[in-house]
Amino acid sequence: MIIEKLSENEKLVDVINSMHSNAWPVFLNEDAVVKKYWRTIYSKYPEFQLLFKIDNAYVGIGNSAPIYWNGKIDGLPDGFDDALKTIIGKNENPNTLCGMAAVISKDHLGKGISYKIIEGFKELGKKCGYSNLILPIRPTLKPQYPTISFNNFINWKKNDLPFDPWLRVHIKLGGKILKVANSSMTVRGTVSDWEKWTGMYFGETNKYIVEGALNSVNIDLENNLGEYIEPNVWILHKCNGK
């Protein structure tokens, strides 16, 4: 497997954008922080954008950036949105690598690429002199269980390992769960926006189960507002293996 960096070829941004285009529920791309800042990460930190290639095919990408973390759980960013704003802002004295996204091509799911991405992050962090890699992760199977408490779900076990496959990858590679970020991402829009993003009709004010969401979406007809607050879980890896 070959690992390339966006800094080596700026045209690789087209590959990154293409792989991201179908990787997430439509509504997640409507997060105001993501819309404002996400693509800036490519131009500000191209050397931290990894592309994984087998033969002539790109099979995965790993987006990351340096950030400052004091090493304490209560010093972590509030979640994905907060980390992204910090990374694109002044981002003073970074000492930690923050893994922001990992995407695998559909043709290569289940082939161990996820392990390679995490190992790639850890090696990148080590080369930068960082001891820690932190990631606000989105459990892969949580959308199948939207009514289950996020805290409960991440503690589900199967054969003494996390039930969720993405969490399981991290634990197998030595990752440690630090804490839940209850308000990691926030998506707000009009009722019409949400109907467009989901293909659903919302006939009353209520909580709705939406495909791809980790928990329910709150629809308020009176105020013409739909709001989705996504939790993630912070994971820590040691870049030096200790």
Distances (CA, A) of 62 to 16, 82, 98, 192, 223: 9, 19, 11, 33, 39
Which tokens go with 219?
A: 């629809």
* pLDDT of 241 strictly over 80: no
Pick the closest to residue 96 from 61, 114, 62, 121 (CA basis).
Answer: 121
| Distance in angstroms between the alpha carbons of the first and the last residue of the chain | 25
Supply the pTM of this predicted model.
Answer: 0.95
Beta-bridged to residue 206, according to DSSP, are 219
Tell me the CATH number for domain 2-184+232-238.
3.40.630.30
Kindly give the pairing relationship between strand 49-54 and strand 206-208.
Answer: unpaired
* pLDDT of 95 strictly over 60: yes
Task: Return the C-alpha torsion angle 217, 221, 222, 224, nearest 10.
Answer: 80
| Digit-coded pLDDT (tens) for 9-61 | 999 999 999 999 989 999 999 999 999 999 999 999 999 999 999 998 999 99
Q: What is the DSSP string of the chain?
A: -EEEEGGG-GGGHHHHHHHHHTTS-GGGGG-HHHHHHTTHHHHH-GGGEEEEEETTEEEEEEEEEEE---SSGGGS-SSHHHHHHHHHS---S--EEEEEEEEE-GGGTTTTHHHHHHHHHHHHHHHTT-SEEEEEE--TTGGG-TTS-HHHHTT-EETTEESSHHHHHHHHTT-EEEEEEEEEEEEEE-HHHHHHHHS----SSEEE--TT-SS-EEEETTTTEEEEEEEEEEEEEETT--
Percent of the chain with pLDDT over 70: 99
Q: How confident is the model at residue 111 (pLDDT cuts 50, 70, 90)?
A: confident
pLDDT at 242: 55
| Digit-coded pLDDT (tens) for 182-217 | 999 999 999 999 999 999 999 999 999 999 999 999
pLDDT at 113: 93
Phi, psi of 100 (to 5 degrees): -100, -30
pLDDT at 106: 85
Contacts of 206 (CB under 8 A, 6+ apart): 219
pLDDT at 107: 84
| Digit-coded pLDDT (tens) for 213-229 | 999 999 999 999 999 99
Q: What is the domain partition of the chain in residue ranges? A: 2-184+232-238, 187-227
Taking CA 179 as the corner, what is the angle to CA 82 and CA 240, rounded to the nearest 5 degrees? Answer: 90
Taking CA 103 as the corner, what is the angle to CA 98 and CA 107, rounded to the nearest 5 degrees? Answer: 160
pLDDT at 240: 83
